[in-house]
Amino acid sequence: MRTSLLRAPAAALLFPVLLLSGCVWTTRKLPVPKAPSIVQTVMPDQLVERLNQRWKALDSLNASVEIQASVLKSKEGVAKDYTSIRGIILMLKPEMLLVYGRVPVLGTRLFEMVSDGKDFTLWIPSKNMAFKGANTVNKKAANPLENLRPGFFLDALVVQGLEPDDLYSVVADSETMEDAARKHLFTVPEYILSISRRKPGSNQLTPVRVITFHRDDLLPYQQDLYDSEGNLETLVFYSAYQDFGGNKYPSKVVIKRPLEDIQVVLTIDKVVENPKNPPLTEDEFVLKLTEGTQIQNLE
């Protein structure tokens, strides 16, 4: 026992000696992430105010898009990709939405979906059928695509402002990413805005949204949306921002629904914010079904 105790101080002294001698380690180069040239700093309330002002200034929107949907079977490692279609998305506050899709090549109407914020109607002219139901899914359909609702597009295309009762917090973080084309790493400083609401009658907070902003331009690049039970419902990724009439919008939006294994990619060609010639009116959000259309009510 005494011998062990005597050896311990000797070993403790030996390690620094070896380090100082220069014969214990070798030096190797590590990739140094490149930092952005501009990193903006704002206070949490300023970040929220920017988002609220942006949302408040938007009354209506007309977007030309390409829509490509996929049904994923993650556990099986299989994806079913549907052919891309051209489409139009119209939005009029407070919650009116119209999504219009065209048949590839022919350009004829494939589907039309309208919503007043509470209920929606989906019309498929080729099948002479229309589906009506509430914007909230009460019963899951076997086909995941049938569970999509108009709000799915509205929440993805536009990052909305906060409600008066929303609680929020902001943290500063950074992410290291790889540029495969240029073969180097780069850091992306971020602000992460977490929005929650207090559960009625308790102090429990329920998550509503998490929005990630890049600090070079303070634009949102990711939005995670949660359902009323706190489950992650939708992930939206925004990229390739472009200037459309003086306003910045992403030209590519990737929407993922993890609970249903659905992915929708929107490629945005044109955005007209608050169009005036002509302005959008509520009449454009009234779906006029042809005579003899079969109507099916969804739960």
CATH number at residue 268: 2.50.20.10
Look at residues 89, 63, 228, 67 and name the one whose alpha carbon lies nearest to residue 150. Answer: 89
Total of domains in the chain: 1
Q: What is the mean pLDDT of residues 19-32?
A: 69
Q: So what's the pLDDT on residue 106? A: 72
The torsion angle over the Cα atoms of residues 256, 257, 261 and 267, rounded to 10 degrees, is -30
**Is 36 within the bounds of a domain?**
no
Classify residue 115 by its DSSP letter. E
pTM (2 d.p.): 0.83
Lowest mean pLDDT among 101-105, 121-125, 186-190, 263-267: 101-105
Look at residues 139, 142, 90 and name the one whose alpha carbon lies nearest to residue 112. Answer: 90
pLDDT band at residue 100 under the 50/70/90 scheme: confident
Q: So what's the pLDDT on residue 5? A: 44
Q: What is the mean pLDDT of residues 183-194?
A: 88
**Is 21 within the bounds of a domain?**
no
**Is 87 within the bounds of a domain?**
yes
Q: Give CA–CA dist 216/35, Å, rounded.
A: 10
**Is 67 within the bounds of a domain?**
yes
Asked whether the predicted pLDDT for residue 226 surpasses 60, the reply is yes
Q: So what's the pLDDT on residue 219? A: 96
pLDDT band at residue 142 under the 50/70/90 scheme: low
Q: So what's the pLDDT on residue 155? A: 75
Q: So what's the pLDDT on residue 4? A: 47
Lowest mean pLDDT among 15-19, 43-47, 276-280: 15-19
**Is 280 within the bounds of a domain?**
yes
Lowest mean pLDDT among 45-54, 128-137, 259-268: 128-137
Classify residue 285 by its DSSP letter. G
pLDDT band at residue 288 under the 50/70/90 scheme: confident
**Is 271 within the bounds of a domain?**
yes
Q: What is the mean pLDDT of residues 166-186?
A: 83
Residue type, 56: K
**Is 182 within the bounds of a domain?**
yes
**Is 102 within the bounds of a domain?**
yes
Range of the domain at 164: 44-288
Asked whether the predicted pLDDT for residue 209 surpasses 90, the reply is yes
Q: So what's the pLDDT on residue 272? A: 94
